[in-house]
Each structure stands twice: as structure tokens, then as C-alpha cells.
Amino acid sequence: MAGADHMVHRQFGCDRNTFMQSNEFAEIMGRLVRNIETVIIGKQETVQSCLVGLLAEGHILLEDVPGVGKTMLAKSLARSVGANYKRIQFTPDLLPSDVTGTVVWDQHNSTFKFREGPVFAHVVLADEINRASPKTQSALLECMEENQVTADVQTHLLPQPFFVIATQNPTEYEGVYPLPESQLDRFAMRLSIGYPSAEAEKALIRQQRLEHPINTLQSVTDVCQIAEMQKFVRAIAVQENIYDYVLRLAHATRHHPQLMLGLSPRGALTLTRAAQALAATRGRDYVLPDDVKFLAGPVMAHRLIPHPEVRLNGFSTERLVEELLHSVPVDRK
């Protein structure tokens, strides 16, 4: 359609409309966590936080050393929810069209048509995202923020639900392009898996002696139910004192003398939505301040940008968030 955007709809999910109870939500979440833990052993908190990001309709940045299971976490989550899964290996020569897709000439029909890129999936793993050029990194921005791809005046909707898990290795700085603030802000949470305990690592080695558990992992729900759970999260009650507490935390970062950039309005909204998802996971239909505190580090720390001179002195935004949680008061009314 010349001169105007044309939207192309794709039906990946379903329109099932059912009423979900709090206990049903928590029960499904419990099954999902236990299922993923058969692959990612001893990391229940990280697994739960990753699922909270999915149900809060956000995206996750996994930042950790190589070999701790970042890719396996993404793959096991996708299989557990019965999702269409694609992996994109980010390299310096990766082009934006390699991510989103491109318009090609169809000789049979003598017309141009859009060839979808790997971003057209329910769960997308952007592996080592900081190895690609900033131009290619930014190709994900529209996808993550607007759930769509625009090519040649046509807008192509991405599947719903749509969830990006990006990974990066913090110890390897040579040949990488650090994510800009605008892109970091689009990740709901930054998580770290970490090394397993001695007991968990022994169980992992023994478990994979004959076969990797990912090969036999089965789904325990489907993307239709995940979409319903996302709707349920939005309905979780948030009292005025919770809104006020989130905003006090945000304002404290914006006026902190050591920070060049504080928590954005998007970050405050994400913290509230993630707290709603965590409350539902814990079997409640209302948010408590403890839900906000539990997620404040993963949601806030990567969004806070310290002054350059402060950063050189070993300043930690994670530690700053912990200090704010102790100093910013909570209205219990």
C-alpha cells in the first residue's frame, strides 16, 4: 500500500478466553519452575525471576560467565511453555535484516514479499548480544518495545506472547559493543545464573553422563495459557502505597549525587508490573512491598548509570539499590 503503513497480522497464539484463579496461576508457575529445574539445577530464584519477566510482558538480559547455562535456561523455558523458539547468534558481521527479515523478489508471482527473520518466534534467544554492532542491536528495539517489525511500509506483527532473552559475557570486553542506555532500559530485568553449588554441580554432571535432560524435556503448559496468565497479572491489585513506594525509589535514584541517570518512568512501570507477576506467583491477588523489594535489584540496577569518576572507584549499582531499599520508607497503610 503506497504512501501508508500497512499492517500484516500473523496468528501465532490463540484467542482462548478463560477465567483464572490465583491458586491456578500459582500451581502452573510451580509446575513450570520444577520442570525447568530438571535442566537448570539449584537455581530456583533465577528460574522464577525469568518466568516473572515473561509473565510481566518484559524481556530478560542474562549477564554471566560462559558455560553456566544461559542458553539452556532459554531453551528449557521455551520447551516448558510449548513455545516456538529461535536462537540468533550475534556476531560483528550480523546485519539488522538478519534479525528482523527482509523484502525479497518472488519470481513466481512477480512481486515483492517479506521473508521473516528469526525474531518471529514466541521465545527468541539473542546470544552474546553485545558482540553485534550498535546498528544491529538497535534492530531489536522496535521488536522489544512495539512487538512488530516494519519493512517497506508494511508492519508485521510478532507472535504473542513475545519474549526476548539476551545473553552477554561480562568478562570479555575485547571486540564487544556495550549496550546503550536506551537498549538496556528495554530489558525488564538483568539476571545472573552464577556457578552452581558443589552438590548441584555434582548432580548436573551425573545427570548428563548419558543424555542431556533438555532432550526429553516436555511442555507443562502452552502459549495460550501463558497469554492468559499475562492478562491475569495485569489485574493484580496495586494499592496507592505501592505506587508511592515505587515512585519514591525512582525519585531517590534521579536525585542521587553519584548517578548520572536514574530510574526511567519505563523502569518504574516495569518494577510495578513485575511485582504484580511475583505476587500472582506467590498465590496473591495483591502486591506487597516485599514483592517490590525482591525485584528491585534485577529491575533497577542495570538502568542506573553512575558518573564516570564514580564508576572508576568500583561503584556498584546493585549495592546502591540495596542501600535505597533500607533508606526509602514504606507506607504500610
From 103, 179, 96, select the one nearest 139 (Cα to Cα): 96
Distance, in Å, from the CA atom of 60 to the CA atom of 184, rounded to the nearest integer, reads 10
148 and 14, same structural domain?
yes
Distance, in Å, from the CA atom of 214 to the CA atom of 199, rounded to the nearest integer, reads 20
* 93 C-beta neighbours (distance < 10 Å), count: 8
- Is pTM beyond 0.75? Reply is yes
Asked whether the beta carbons of 135 and 146 are under 8 A apart, the reply is: no
Total domains in the chain come to 2
2, three cell numbers: 503506497
135 and 257, same structural domain?
no
223 and 320, same structural domain?
no
pLDDT value of position 169? 80
Output phi, psi for 217, to 5 deg.
-70, 130
pLDDT value of position 18? 53
From 119, 179, 193, 108, select the one nearest 151 (Cα to Cα): 119
199 and 105, same structural domain?
yes
Chosen domain end from 234, 260, 294: 234
Consecutive 10-residue runs of the chain (333 residues): their mean pLDDT? Answer: 45 54 89 95 95 97 90 96 95 92 82 89 94 88 86 86 91 70 91 92 89 92 94 96 97 94 95 97 94 97 90 84 94 72
227 and 246, same structural domain?
no
54 and 173, same structural domain?
yes
Paired residues of 165 in beta bridges: 60, 125
pLDDT value of position 151? 78
pLDDT value of position 172? 56
Q: Which domain holds residue 223?
A: 6-234
**Cell 518504574 identifies what position?**
268
187 and 168, same structural domain?
yes
